[in-house]
Amino acid sequence: MNLGHREGASSSFSISFMGQGQARPSREEARAQAKSLHTQLHAAAETFKLPTRAPAELVELLRAHPTVGVFAGRAEWFEVLGFENWLRSQSPLDVTTCYPRSAHDSFEFCVAHESELVKSQPYGLFEPVPSAPLAEPSLVFAPCTLADVLGHRMGRGKGHFDRYLARHPGTITVGVCHEDFVLEQFPAEWIQPHDRDMSALLTNQRYLKIPTKGDR
């Protein structure tokens, strides 16, 4: 299935999972095809850059939560690179950054700078060293392969963020997703019981606060 098209080098990448006359892909098919498109964009030297200036609502959120969970972007998956530096440039306070470190089938956050991360196994992710102190940030930024404007997200495919958030239900979660991979609404069959909704969505074009289910 063709999930999208690009009309010229500088135009946005339009994703259409629900094309007329096409069978709707399963959740895993959609994730796999989105990852394939990420790889194509990376190969075409496209980049995912956040706005030079963060919206005031996000700045206020950072002011209230100076200890934040972040992630190290993977260029081959068309993610934001240097997210920590961008966040520091936007925050009115000195941010304490925490990165995920694998722990069995989930992860834990540890205080670290991106420059201190080391490549881990088996997934080849960059993580804090074993001696990095544990932390429980009240604000977490999570990478998205796909997202919708109602707060649903697909991550990198292992479910680590969802399991972490299930253990920390009060955590404010901001998904980070390129605008071209944001849908209006996921099909119901894509949403699984273990999924945890986002509180807001940050893209290269906007910051969107997700309404609670009772306000939709």
Name the least confident of 96-105, 111-120, 127-136, 165-174: 96-105
DSSP letter at 125 equals -
Nearest to 3 by CA among 42, 43, 30: 30
Output 17 or 142, whichever has higher pLDDT.
142
Distance in angstroms between the alpha carbons of the first and the last residue of the chain = 31
Residue 10 pLDDT more than 70?
no
| Residue 122 confidence class, pLDDT cut points 50, 70, 90 | low
Whether the full predicted model's pTM is greater than 0.85, yes or no, is yes
pLDDT (mean) for 89-115 = 90
Q: What confidence score (pLDDT) does residue 177 get?
A: 94
| Residue 213 confidence class, pLDDT cut points 50, 70, 90 | low
Architecture of domain 49-215: 3-Layer(aba) Sandwich (3.40)
Query: Looking at the DSSP assignment, which residues form a beta bridge with residue 148?
Result: 183
Q: In the chain, where are the structural domains located?
A: 49-215
